Structure 1
């Protein structure tokens, strides 16, 4: 694993937060059309159908999928079945600003989990980078007015987002395990399909429980269909591909800082699609977040 952050790797790691910001915007748009956990199941079911022609060989005998099913089941649970389902659940009782604020703690969780369970060393520059990057996110969330952070109140949705962030941090560290056959590891589509295959089972079980225990319903429309196609191709397949490759190149600790670009991209998309005018604090936040990424990527 190369710990140097090259321009190509940086560009690769910028793609996921950009697409995930779009996922948040689209998720809010269809919130009244489809239940949150069902939305997560549908997006990954579509992603599985798209991946099948690209990597269907993983289902052949001897591919290694069966021999390493436990690893892929865990990756599928954490990255596919849990993270977005918990995020969508969080938005049912928490505000977007609270959810984004909790998600901004990912670099801290990534450093902590790596140090506790994966024997990863944590440098002072990484800690400083984490603080600088989180400060940039806080600038966006507070709209440049720090007193706005003092009126935040925690609700059950915030706990869901904490669990989601921890799940994603563990998932990212497990990507470095390299315990699967090289035939699967070397083919990004096969590696993703192996995870999604189990993730769809997990998310399907969660969605079934949602329909049993709630008054879930779906209001089908062409708009919902387009939204499902986007969240399946962009935030799911493309973002996971770029994130996995980036993590393998520079490690979870450095990659985690790029996740903090998501609130900034979300603010930019709000300006483009909702007519909100950009402010000076967006530039300040961008400088702080990028500064945290650069600082954290320095070798000791």
Structure 2
């Protein structure tokens, strides 16, 4: 049973969005130093070697990883190969505030994905909440100006982030329908490594395509090395562990509200480290998105 929001549970559920906001800031900070697909590949390659000592036995012969390899290949494609790569691509032309606010509309895509592909029921309250959240996302995409909404003048990064949220929604629903073997699902590091192992292959293929089809290059520096260590250790490994433990304690419905701290943290960090100050429409969009999630998640 849910023991309630103890201080330690709150800490876990706040730390994960803080690290994810930092991921958006760092992705924006180094977007001219390393191509987005390559950044995603290097991030998860480092995370793979961090997780390997913790969960290496999943690669032994007879492990459930091999008997369920198709499932983990799909999860690795959506959660590791696509979502993070699309987010870094979004940060090439959009700001961390915009990217995280668009991502905050994730519960709407979760609802639509579940209804369209997994037979999930949708209530009137959820539809109302979805409408509020979509209004918030549209406000961000329109940069707070009606003329932009009418002209549909979106920067590529906003569109990439919409596709990223759709990919993550599919990933999340597949997780709920996934009957992973006990030797893999039984430990957080094993379950994450099973996905990362395939995700590194996907992200490596995307990075290879990036270098083949474009004039990609890496501007190595201590800043870039520090950024790679951060995005691999913090948002990937530590945030995943904190979020998983926090959801187990508080439940997914309560945890969902904490995930919407990400754009708030991103706005504060953008002002502090990038000089990108939030605008009034960012605050209104945040209220609409959170309000929509509150309405849709309340019991009838």
TM-score (norm 1): 0.82
Name the structure 2 match of 1:95.
94
Tell me, what secondary structure is at the counterpart of 1:180? coil
Q: Relative to structure 1, is the Cα distance of residues 146 and 255 closer, same or farther in structure 2, using a 3 angstrom cutoff?
A: farther
What SS class does the counterpart of residue 162 from structure 1 fall into? helix
Unaligned runs of 5+ in 1: none
- In 1, are the aligned partners of 2:43 and 2:231 still within 8 Å (CA)? yes
Q: Distance in 2 between matches of 1:65 and 1:98?
A: 37
Aligned length: 295
> Equivalent residues in 2 for 1:1-300 (5 A)?
7=5, 12-92=12-92, 94-96=93-95, 99-100=99-100, 102-135=102-135, 147=146, 150=149, 153-243=153-243, 250=251, 259-274=259-274, 288-300=288-300
Query: Is the contact made by 1:80 and 1:200 (CA closer than 8 Å) also made in structure 2?
Result: yes
CA distance in 1, matches of 2:14, 2:171: 19
Mapped to 2, the partners of 1:285 and 1:160 lie a distance apart of 19
Superposed displacement of residue 238, structure 1: 2.5
**Runs of 5+ unmatched residues, structure 2:** none
Q: Once the 2 structures are TM-superposed, how far is the Cα of residue 135 of structure 1 from its aligned partner?
A: 5.0
Deviation at 1:171, TM superposition (A): 0.3
Q: Which moved more, 1:178-187 or 1:288-297?
A: 288-297
Cα distance change on mapping 1:227 and 1:210 into 2, 3 Å: same
User: What SS is found at the alignment partner of 2:268?
Assistant: helix
Distance 1:148 1:18, change over 3 A: farther
Question: Residues of 2 paired with 1:293 and 1:237: CA distance?
Answer: 27
For the residues of structure 2 that align with 1:279 and 1:256, how far apart are their CA atoms?
Answer: 25
Partner Cα separation in structure 1 for residue 163 and residue 282 of structure 2: 28
TM-score by length of 2: 0.82
Instruction: Find the residue that maps to 1:178 and give its secondary structure.
Output: coil
